[in-house]
Chain A
Amino acid sequence: MKLTKAQYDEIAQFLGHVQPTRQSLRKLKEKFPSQSQSTLLSIFSQEYQKQIKRTHAKHHTAEAIETYYQRYLNGVMKNAAAPILLELANEVDFAPSLMARIVLERFLQEKEQAIPSKTLINSMLRDPSQIPNGVLANQVYQCTVNDCCYGPLVDCIKHAIGHEHEVLLREMLLEKNLSFIAEDQLRAKGYDKTPDFILEVPVAVEGHIIHWIESKASFGDESSHQAYLQDQFWSYWNRVPGESLMLLLAKETLLYVRKTVGKCHI
């Protein structure tokens, strides 16, 4: 089913009034019972991410980092078991995983007297037991488990969803007898950037010649569409000229976006 732009806007507008927290998600469900949970979650997470992006810089000033770290140290001194970081993140309206990352980075910096590598940080976030401090490990773990939009767990879920949609899409293509080259084949050929599928024989969809298909497990709202254009569309187009079909799948909600260069419609 297609989600109309108006519907999307209505949901997004509602989200604009409330803090994107778990309660809001529940309220959202009450307000829009006709939409599926995953659809709402997807929109919710998108809006939440937008909010985080807006405030990202604010939390990364040297002063802010120092404040957070001191609050963490004071907090665990009083009660190591309390979810200090999680509460701190919620208090300042920041994603818990990202808060955990800030504090972890700061912690390692002090410990190692050097700026830790991104790989190290990421691997510690994925597996907090590697963190040399048990208390911090616990705090970090609480944060990553409790984050609905960021963190290794969420990334993994996103990845899983992406993969599932790709499988679905592949199935649809096979069903329709459309010959295609999939991403892994393209990669094997050495393409540096690849859309999900390149159609070996282009097809016409609503009068547009479609050369390749990309599925996104998120909604094509304006800003993410723009970002997508910037990050991926042109990259693909620079390599495989032609129009694309961007499929936006969110479980039972199938939303597709026709892409003509320079103009987009939802």
Chain B
Amino acid sequence: ASVYVSEVSDLGLVSLSLLQKDFVPFLLNFLREQTSQILTNGPSTPAKTPSSKAHGSQRTASERRAGHRRSSQKASLGSFLTATPEALPARRGRRKGSSSVSASGRQVARDLGRSLAEEEDGKHDSVSWSGGRRKRSEVSLVSARSPPSQLNLNNLEEFPPMGAASGWTNKPSRRINPTPVSAERPLSKPKMCFTSTPVSQSPAARFSSASSLEAFTTVQEGNLPSAISNSLQEEREMLKKERCKLLHQASSPAGISLDPGTPTKPSYTRSASLPAESHLVTCANPTKVSCKKQLECLAQLYSSCIAENLVPNIFLELFFVLQLLTSKGTSTAEDGDSDLEVNERNASGRQHFRSVHNCVYFAVQVLDYQYEIISHLEKGMLKLLAENERIASFSPALHERLRQAYESSTAKVSLLLPCSVQSVSFQPETDNRSNFPSDRAFHIFKKQRDIFYELLREWEDNHEKTGWDFERVLGNKIRAMMAHLSATCNHSHFARLFQKQLIQMCKGPIGGGASWGDTPDQDVLNMLGSDNLSRLKRLQERFVVPQSIRGPCPPPSFPGCQQFFRDFILSAGSYQFNQHLVDSLCLKILELNSLTLVEHEHSDGEADMDEQDEKKRFTVVLLSLRLLAKFLGFLVFLPYRTVEQPTRDLQDSAVALRNQTLPVLDVLKLLRQSIWDRRSILTVPWIVEYLSLVDHIAPFLDYYKKVFCLLLQVYRLMVLSEDKEMNFLNKLLILAVLGWLFQVELFPSCCVLSAFHFFSYQDSVPLVDQQLLYTCCPYLGELRKLLASFVAGSGVKNGGFIRKITPTAAESLAPKASVTQRKLQVELAQAFFHNQPPSLRRTVEFVAERVGSNCVKHIKATLVAELVQRAEVMLQDKVKEEDANHDKLLEEVCAHLYEEGAQALIKGREFCKKKGPEAVRVLLPEETSAAVLSSAEDIAVELATEKACGWLSANIAALIKREVRATFNRMLKVPGLPVPGEDALELRRDCPPGCQHCAPLPSQIINEIKVLLFSSHCLLSDVLCVAVGPRDEGEVIDYVWLECLLGRLGQTLRCRKFMCPTSEQQLAKCTVELASLLVSDHVPLSLGIKSQEKSSERLRVKNNPTYGLLKMLLSVWKEDFGTPVPVHLIFTKKNIGYLAEVKQREWDLFLFMLHGLVEHELMRTSEIESCLHTLEELPWSSVSNEMCVYNK
């Protein structure tokens, strides 16, 4: 095989089109297999490479079995990349077995179950296996000094610095006791032990897998605390011993001489001093590298595969390379002496990667080839690479280049954006009453909005608490809400709110969840000062980083707030809601996907700013798209989701069935279109999100097969080194997301890479920066974590040797005029814009958009409002005329108005013509030439008019009708159909001139009258109310006070400032009531002048002060009230009832009142007569008698 390899490398890969299909998987598998013994460091070797030797050969047997069982059913990328030599079926099988880990969160439980089972198998296998073939190495290791405590060993692996396996930790006194910090431990653990590379020749690893399994089972039984404390204790013990050992080593002369602060210093002196048999220490040493030539050859070959995008995921390969670079695996078989193992290895015949030295040598070689990709990664990563001592000692040249790359890099990435509930604003255009079919629907939605936010707050406050369960706490509330939505057909409204809230909360990089990052909580960190800060960071890294490495291909997930929305959908379980949400998501996706990508002239001074804006806009759109697409994918494939891979038969029938249905969103078309329009940088990332949630069957459908094939072609053609026109980072992003998709998802085996023919790929707009790259692909951070876990505590204590940051300009881009087949005018406009700074185009587009929109608003507020007013008048007349059919009436009136509505277009055109140029002039630079300005104005006006008039001509009739109907409904609702003339005028009365607004407040007057009425009633019922207590002696009503009250009532009514209709109506009612009491002498008046009591009956009548009060009331009613006073209430049964009880004298008061009413034109005589007439039916004879009196 080595002959074969060198042949291939000589020929160059490209020419090997025939061999390539078989060769690449072979190579990848070969590398994984070769290095499997060494790779004990990263807990996360790829789960799903077609060619990866992910889990070490330890489990091979069991997996092989599993693989055979399933390999015929599951599609995978590997199956089209491979058709391979001997070992392949097995590998494919294993890959499939493990791929279950990457399924979505819902399946975790099942996956855990399965992985557990497999783990068990693996364990047994490994026992028997090591008993046979590995015996020798095992024995040699048992003799090592490490105490065979399983938990220790486990931790040794997962806390590499603690284990001090590197041997570079020269300041052990500064170690601190690590404590397991991750709360997610119980969850992440099985995953980790499953995907880790536990094969090592030490018993440590064997125990490691066993113990982690054990730990998991304990967790399930609920004994987590004891397990942890146990392991903690032992961990500490272990630590002590390690420290002793290290101190011991350090005391040796060689150890002391070491200076880790100078990374350029060759480290071989140190490693030479280390005891060779110690399994803890493996120091890579360039001088100990064997078979250099073969390694170089392999590195070149491997690098070419990466460079040509022949590997399914370039970042996975980089991760693998970094694993090699940081490998800590021990190697006792220094010279690869003949061994059973060697014979086992099939083709290679030799073990090239048996020593760490070889691995590191190979890794450094590959990194050197891949320098360009690496140099585009984020700054923190570059720092770690630049500080890596192995690179420094193996390739000083690469080290130097990395150092420079780091110094010049500006690609700082921070993934922590705060996420908090911020509600979606009420939008009258979509949320007001006119958008709902009925008042009921509107009001119910009002409640639903509140309920939704209540749920959201509840979740936000509590979901992290232990024992809080989404379904248990919120499930029923959500379903009740869904039932209400269904009852009123409000789903579309709610779906829109839901979607907007989703974007608002989750468009941030990690959906508000925790993550790695440069700035955990900047406020807190700032307080520490930079010195302490860097210490804290390193400390944090040591604690957190090693545990959280999950490999560069995590399964699709719903981090942070996204979880709420996913769980909401699941708990709701509402078909209607889902359908509306799908509609809403599709619409929004299409809208965002049509974002114009603007190219920028780089020489232009202001272009930088424009470019920044453009990038920002692009970022927001891209992240929103990915979010929406993920949820769309979730919803679309949700009904087909199955726990298990369906059997072949089921699959065939399902495929036959589902091939008949159309996709909800035509992603294939959009993908093709985006490639054609050179905008795939926007489209591919969200399509990947969408596809990452496919069910088991979907990839076999004809439609999705095509999509996947196309994506594969895109991937293959995105060769980084070629085609410099396309922005490097754009490509990198597409490669990263596609690579991820290929790893996490199932692939149709039908995809064949042979047929590339049609497009040349060139998005030239530089839109992606590292921030966006890492935001979209947080898993790229795994590369850094891997390095960090290696470096952490390894002795680079100087906080890095590079401090200076020199910002440099971003790489230049070549603008490319696109000539597409469009109309001449559009082409001209395009050409015009192309020759201008991009800001001009955006300004014009912006102006057009705004002016168009304002134009519509303006037409609504002027022309339409005017028409509606006229309609109102017309309707009022007609409604009075006959009790006509309202709908018909409405139609008639509207038909009248439609003709006039046509004016809207003329007015709209005028408006745009007037406003457009104004705005353009203000917004463009003063120095713009007249010709350019006028063209820009014309285009803006044209676009604005197009927009506004397009909308108006389509909608003006509907708009008029809607507005008229709304007005009409309002009109009908007002009781008694007030004629807008007089009544409205009366109500809108102003204060008298010179009013100081210091009259008593209406509320006060109402209150006083109320108390007065009450007192009078006490008298009326002739009982002292027990509970309200005895009335005061003085609780008769003072005449003067009452007179004064009526006077103040007048004042209050005249000052209109604080008056509102309800107050006024109430005052009117109360005063009528008061009048009724007065005329029946039920108000206990004290005159304050006692002498009058004795005067004659006649005199008393004349002097009765009540007349004065009644006069005042009549005048207030007549003069001061703005509303009609319900004087007819005097004639209600109740009030006439008061009269019936009284003596003759008070009838005079009543008659006086009747006359007064007529005199003051408050009632007509006929009205009074009819009122009295109805009273005749009452049983009170006196009333009838009096009526006779009155009639006379």
Footprint of B on A, CB under 8 Å?
21-23, 81-83, 86-87, 89-91, 127-129, 134, 137-138, 141-142, 145-146, 153, 156-161, 163-164, 167, 189-193, 234-235, 237-241
Q: A146-B1028, A164-B1001, A238-B423 are in contact. Are A193 and B446 (CB under 8 A)?
A: yes
Give 17 CB contacts A-B under 8 Å: A22-B1028, A81-B1021, A90-B1026, A127-B1129, A129-B1134, A142-B1021, A153-B1010, A159-B1062, A160-B1063, A163-B1063, A164-B1001, A190-B428, A192-B431, A192-B432, A238-B423, A238-B449, A238-B453
Looking at A87, A145, A158, A159, which has the most chain B CB atoms within 10 Å of its CB? A145
Contact B1063 A159 (CB under 8 A): yes
| Given A153-B1006, A160-B1066, 4 other A-B residues pairs in contact with their CB atoms under 8 A | A81-B1022, A146-B1025, A167-B1058, A190-B428
Contact B1017 A190 (CB under 8 A): no
Contact B426 A239 (CB under 8 A): yes
Contact B1057 A167 (CB under 8 A): yes
Contact A190 B425 (CB under 8 A): no
CA distance in complex: A235, B1057 (Å)? 29
Across-interface contacts of B1007 in A (CB, < 8 A): 157
CA distance in complex: A214, B1041 (Å)? 36
The answer to whether the Cβ of B340 comes within 8 Å of any Cβ in the partner chain is: no
Q: For residues 355 through 392 of chain B, which have their beta carbon under 8 Å from a beta carbon of chain A?
A: none
Across-interface contacts of A240 in B (CB, < 8 A): 425-426
Across-interface contacts of B1027 in A (CB, < 8 A): 21, 86-87, 89-91
The answer to whether the Cβ of B433 comes within 8 Å of any Cβ in the partner chain is: yes
CA distance in complex: A69, B1021 (Å)? 20
Across-interface contacts of A237 in B (CB, < 8 A): 423, 453
The answer to whether the Cβ of B922 comes within 8 Å of any Cβ in the partner chain is: no
Contact A163 B1022 (CB under 8 A): no
Contact B1132 A160 (CB under 8 A): no
Contact A160 B1017 (CB under 8 A): no
Across-interface contacts of B1013 in A (CB, < 8 A): 145
Contact A157 B1010 (CB under 8 A): yes
Chain B residue with the shortest CB-CB distance to A128: B1134
Contact B1028 A82 (CB under 8 A): no
The answer to whether the Cβ of B1003 comes within 8 Å of any Cβ in the partner chain is: yes
Q: A81-B1022, A142-B1017, A153-B1010 are in contact. Are A161 and B425 (CB under 8 A)?
A: no
Contact B1062 A160 (CB under 8 A): yes
Contact B1025 A160 (CB under 8 A): no
CA distance in complex: A225, B454 (Å)? 17
A181 CB to nearest chain B CB (Å): 11
Across-interface contacts of B454 in A (CB, < 8 A): 234
> 1/0 per position for B1016-1046, CB-CB distance to A under 8 A?
0110111101111100000000000000000
Q: A160-B1060, A234-B454 are in contact. Are A82 and B1134 (CB under 8 A)?
A: no
B209 CB to nearest chain A CB (Å): 47
> 1/0 per position for B1102-1135, CB-CB distance to A under 8 A?
0000000000000000000000000001001111
CA distance in complex: A23, B1063 (Å)? 27
Q: A141-B1134, A192-B443, A192-B446 are in contact. Are A161 and B1003 (CB under 8 A)?
A: yes
The answer to whether the Cβ of B422 comes within 8 Å of any Cβ in the partner chain is: yes
A129 CB to nearest chain B CB (Å): 4
Q: A91-B1027, A167-B1058, A238-B453 are in contact. Are A160 and B431 (CB under 8 A)?
A: no
Partner of B1029, one of A23, A153, A189, A191: A23
Across-interface contacts of B1058 in A (CB, < 8 A): 160, 163-164, 167
Across-interface contacts of B1134 in A (CB, < 8 A): 128-129, 134, 137-138, 141
The answer to whether the Cβ of B89 comes within 8 Å of any Cβ in the partner chain is: no
CA distance in complex: A191, B457 (Å)? 22
Contact A82 B432 (CB under 8 A): no
CA distance in complex: A146, B1028 (Å)? 9
Contact B1006 A82 (CB under 8 A): no
Footprint of A on B, CB under 8 Å?
422-423, 425-426, 428, 431-434, 442-443, 445-446, 449-450, 453-454, 457, 1001-1003, 1006-1007, 1010, 1013-1014, 1017-1018, 1020-1023, 1025-1029, 1057-1058, 1060, 1062-1063, 1066, 1069-1070, 1129, 1132-1135, 1137
Partner of A164, one of B446, B1002, B1014, B1017: B1002
3 interchain residue pairs of minimum CB distance: A190-B432, A90-B1027, A239-B426
CA distance in complex: A179, B121 (Å)? 74
A260 CB to nearest chain B CB (Å): 13
CA distance in complex: A190, B443 (Å)? 12
Across-interface contacts of B1001 in A (CB, < 8 A): 160-161, 164
Across-interface contacts of A129 in B (CB, < 8 A): 1129, 1132-1135
Q: A137-B1134, A160-B1006, A161-B1003 are in contact. Are A190 and B1022 (CB under 8 A)?
A: no
Partner of B1002, one of A21, A160, A192, A235: A160
Across-interface contacts of B434 in A (CB, < 8 A): 190
CA distance in complex: A138, B1129 (Å)? 14
CA distance in complex: A240, B446 (Å)? 14
CA distance in complex: A158, B1004 (Å)? 10
Across-interface contacts of A23 in B (CB, < 8 A): 1029
Across-interface contacts of A164 in B (CB, < 8 A): 1001-1003, 1058
Contact B1133 A134 (CB under 8 A): yes
Across-interface contacts of A241 in B (CB, < 8 A): 422-423, 425
A197 CB to nearest chain B CB (Å): 15
A83 CB to nearest chain B CB (Å): 5
Q: A82-B1023, A234-B450 are in contact. Are A189 and B428 (CB under 8 A)?
A: yes
Across-interface contacts of B1132 in A (CB, < 8 A): 129
CA distance in complex: A21, B1026 (Å)? 11
Across-interface contacts of A142 in B (CB, < 8 A): 1017, 1021
Contact B1063 A83 (CB under 8 A): no
Across-interface contacts of A192 in B (CB, < 8 A): 426, 431-433, 442-443, 445-446
CA distance in complex: A23, B454 (Å)? 43
CA distance in complex: A163, B454 (Å)? 30
CA distance in complex: A193, B447 (Å)? 10
A239 CB to nearest chain B CB (Å): 4
Across-interface contacts of A193 in B (CB, < 8 A): 446
CA distance in complex: A240, B449 (Å)? 12
Contact A83 B450 (CB under 8 A): no
B1119 CB to nearest chain A CB (Å): 21
Across-interface contacts of B423 in A (CB, < 8 A): 237-239, 241
CA distance in complex: A192, B425 (Å)? 12
Across-interface contacts of B446 in A (CB, < 8 A): 192-193
Partner of B1014, one of A91, A146, A156, A238: A146
Contact B1006 A235 (CB under 8 A): no
Across-interface contacts of A160 in B (CB, < 8 A): 1001-1003, 1006, 1058, 1060, 1062-1063, 1066
Chain A residue with the shortest CB-CB distance to B432: A190
B1066 CB to nearest chain A CB (Å): 4
Q: A153-B1010, A157-B1010, A238-B423 are in contact. Are A146 and B450 (CB under 8 A)?
A: no
A37 CB to nearest chain B CB (Å): 10
A227 CB to nearest chain B CB (Å): 14
A149 CB to nearest chain B CB (Å): 12
Across-interface contacts of A146 in B (CB, < 8 A): 1014, 1017, 1025, 1028
Across-interface contacts of A161 in B (CB, < 8 A): 1001, 1003
Contact B433 A190 (CB under 8 A): yes
CA distance in complex: A234, B1023 (Å)? 49
Q: A90-B1027, A191-B432 are in contact. Are A239 and B1017 (CB under 8 A)?
A: no
Across-interface contacts of B1133 in A (CB, < 8 A): 129, 134, 137
Q: A81-B1022, A82-B1021, A190-B432 are in contact. Are A156 and B426 (CB under 8 A)?
A: no
CA distance in complex: A240, B453 (Å)? 13
Q: A82-B1021, A137-B1133 are in contact. Are A156 and B1063 (CB under 8 A)?
A: yes
Chain A residue with the shortest CB-CB distance to B1062: A159
Contact B1028 A189 (CB under 8 A): no
CA distance in complex: A20, B1070 (Å)? 26
CA distance in complex: A66, B743 (Å)? 74
A164 CB to nearest chain B CB (Å): 4
B694 CB to nearest chain A CB (Å): 36
